[in-house]
Copies of this chain bind each other. A is one copy, B any other.
Amino acid sequence: MSSKFTKVTDPNHDIRGGHGRAYNYSSGPAQMPIEVMEQFQKEFLNWDGSGVGCAELVHRGPGFAKLYKDVVDKTRQFLEVPDEFDIIFFNAGASNQMSATIFNLLKEGGTANYCPHGWWSQKAVTEARKYMDPNLVIDLPASGAVTIPPESEWKINPDASYTYFVENETINGTEFLDFPFHLFPKDMIFVADMSSSLGSKKVDWSKYGVCYASSGKNFGPSGVCVTIIRKDLIGKHMKTTPM
**Chain A residues engaging chain B, CB cutoff 8 angstroms:** 1, 3-5, 7, 16-17, 19-22, 24, 26, 28-32, 34, 37-38, 40-41, 44-46, 49-53, 55-62, 90-93, 95-96, 98-100, 103, 123, 127, 130-131, 221-223, 239-243
Known: A53-B32, A91-B223, A130-B239. A46 touches B61 (CB 8 A): no
The one of B22, B56, B222 in contact with A51, judged by C-beta atoms closer than 8 angstroms, is B22
Complex: A129 Cα to B30 Cα, angstroms: 41
Give the interface SS of chain A, mostly helix, strand, loop or mixed.
loop
Of A3, A21, A56, A99, most buried by chain B (CB within 10 Å of CB) is A56
Q: Given known contacts A19-B51, A90-B92, A127-B243, what 8 new A-B pairs fall within 8 Å (CB)?
A: A1-B60, A17-B45, A22-B50, A24-B56, A28-B60, A37-B53, A44-B44, A92-B92
Q: In the complex, how many angstroms separate the beta carbon of A126 from the nearest chain B beta carbon? A: 8
Number of copies: 2
- Min CB distance A166 to B, Å, is 15
Assembly CA distance A240 to B55 (angstroms): 34
Q: How far is the CA of A44 from the CA of B91 in the complex (A)?
A: 19
A29 to B53, CA, bound (A): 11
* Chain B hits for A20, CB < 8 A: 51
Instruction: Please determine whether B243 and A49 come into contact, CB atoms closer than 8 angstroms.
Output: no
> Are B242 and A22 in touch, CB under 8 angstroms?
no
